[in-house]
Amino acid sequence: MTIQLISENKVAGGLHQQFEFDSVALKSTTRFAIFLPPQAIQGQSVPVIYWLSGLTCSDENFMQKAGAFKTAAKLGLCIVAPDTSPRGENIPDDTEKSYDFGVGAGFYVNATQKPWATHYHMYDFIVDELPNVIENHFNVTAQRALAGHSMGGHGAMMIGLRNPDCYSSISAFSPICQPSQCPWGIKAFSGYLGADPKEWRAYDSTELIKAIDSNQFVPMLVDQGDKDNFLAEQLTPEPFIDVATQRDYPLTFRMQEGYDHSYYFISSFIDDHLHFHHQHF
């Protein structure tokens, strides 16, 4: 597979690059951003953290706003940030152009309903195709971790719980913890997966953590701001925490006083998440 370099900037002794390629899973051209720490540039293979962004975001939000480069460079961590959905002239979008469905809102599922089923296979893209691209083109190891924010926090938790053998650790900021029971998730799942809620369970972290074998528990860190406007209606972490506690799952959940849903929040605690993943590689 050929990937095309779009941009490159030196930062924190490493490189931030953007690439695009023709995705088989998405049946469209897609873009990702990558931070290569100095160690990778000097010939050392390094582990990878895959960052999954939230609604309306692209590959750029985390890289520009999180302030992760200095710590990632120090720890020798590669960070990869894909887009949040397929994009392009032939990609279907919500007819009402809402921010929480369609382009920019892939929810990291494999859509089964028309017209979404042709292109909206973000689950397969994140789990299989993107890691294969990264591991075949860059100086990285097969060690992987997942992190994300909001919709991307849902994606990181859900994908990590479904594929525990693939990831050393999982972390999330303000994740949608029970998407099958909140307005954002109900809208997305009914549109992408159909009207039967039974089909949604495979993408709901609160349902998944109930069933995962204890031998496959993956360490997880979740940060949530108590001033987050979406906390009560959309994010609903309590059921997830309750199940994790009952099952003695290795979850560290931190409610951070005074913080909201923004990248100000993420930038305040991103170093903790990078150290967390580094510890488990």
Two tokens, residue 73: 């460079």
Second-level CATH architecture of 4-280? 3-Layer(aba) Sandwich (3.40)
Can you tell me whether residue 82 is helix, strand or coil?
A: strand
The pairing of beta strand 140-149 with beta strand 78-82 = unpaired
pLDDT in tens, 214-267: 999 999 999 999 999 999 999 999 999 999 999 999 999 999 999 999 999 999
What are the sequence ranges of the domains in the chain?
4-280
Per-residue confidence (pLDDT) for residue 106, from 0 to 100: 98
Per-residue confidence (pLDDT) for residue 23, from 0 to 100: 98
Per-residue confidence (pLDDT) for residue 228, from 0 to 100: 98
Q: Cis before residue 115, ω within 30 degrees of 0?
A: yes
User: How far is 254 from 252, CA to CA, in rounded Å?
Assistant: 7
Distance of CA 49 to the CA centre of its chain: 10
Tell me what the pLDDT averaged over the chain comes to.
98
pLDDT in tens, 27-82: 999 999 999 999 999 999 999 999 999 999 999 999 999 999 999 999 999 999 99
Residue 200: pLDDT above 90?
A: yes
Per-residue confidence (pLDDT) for residue 108, from 0 to 100: 98
Whether the CA torsion 136, 139, 143, 146 is positive or negative: it is negative
Task: Report, as residue numbers or ranges, the catalytic residues.
Answer: 150, 228, 261
Cβ atoms of 218 and 170 closer than 8 Å: yes
Average pLDDT over residues 202-221: 97
Kindly indicate the confidence band of residue 126, based on its pLDDT and cuts at 50, 70 and 90: very high
Question: 56: Cβ–Cβ under 8 A, 6 or more apart, which residues?
Answer: 84, 99, 104, 105
Per-residue confidence (pLDDT) for residue 1, from 0 to 100: 79
* Ramachandran region, residue 157 (left: φ > 0; alpha: ψ -120 to 50; beta: rest): alpha
